[in-house]
Amino acid sequence: MIAAALLALQDALSPDFRKVLWKALGLTILLFIGILIGLEVAISILVAFPWPWLETILAVATGLGVFAAFFFLMAPVTAVFAGLFLDDIAVLVEQRDYPGDAPGKPLATATAIWTGVQFGLLVLIVNLLLLPTLLIGIGAVMMVIGNAYLLGREYFSMVAMRHMQPREAQALRKTNAARVFAAGLIPAGLALIPVVNLFVPLFSTSYFVHIFKKIQAEPV
């Protein structure tokens, strides 16, 4: 796992991989700008105040709320958009580190979008449910455990589906469930670090390509 993480780190720092990251971040920023504009317009249309200063306060509060949500939701939303570029990342890793292996088949666009949306929502819901555990001192540990399972399951499955049918990918993941969970601990830990967590979707894709390749190469 350490070797795979180091390889993934090298990949994530390369110019080709950063291009994918900027695309995902750009789409995320545009989404939040659209949400902010939509809320401002909706408030101006649906809510009328007799005092202009109260309307200004509400507009500022709305903007601050969206700004706070921007940082809290950036990682899961980036994960949704990163799913759209999973094939781009996987191809780069396979060509660079596994040139002699059969290339994977790109996921259908609809499959990639739906999988990314499901994953992003699942990560968001789980982390929201785990937020109260921060009050009793075990929040960080619980989040690492929960995200390790989610990240391991989703990224390993998406990478594996480029090389086999979904049922086969699911069976391979279940057979190696403990290893996939353990592998997920590294990106799960990184996901707790502000700013660094923005790179987790990119890092995780490359990382689980290496994990998948190692498991695939082992004798049955």
Residues 113/84, Cβ–Cβ less than 8 Å: yes
* Closest CA relative to residue 73, chosen from 19, 17, 131: 131
- Closest by alpha carbon to 166, among 112, 95, 99? 112
Please give the torsion angle defined by the CA atoms of residues 104, 105, 110 and 115, in that order, rounded to the nearest 10 degrees. -20
Residue 96 binned pLDDT confidence (cut-offs 50, 70, 90): confident
pTM of the model: 0.77
Tell me how crowded residue 42 is: count the other CB atoms within 10 A of its CB. 11
Q: What is the mean pLDDT of the chain?
A: 80
Query: Does pLDDT of 37 surpass 70?
Result: yes
Q: Check residues 113 and 180 and name the one with the higher pLDDT.
A: 180
| Domain residue ranges of the chain, discontinuous segments joined by + | 2-217
Q: How far apart are CA 206 and CA 211, in angstroms?
A: 9
- pLDDT tens digits for range 120-136: 778 778 877 877 776 77
Q: How confident is the model at residue 116 (pLDDT cuts 50, 70, 90)?
A: confident
pLDDT at residue 172 is higher than 80: yes
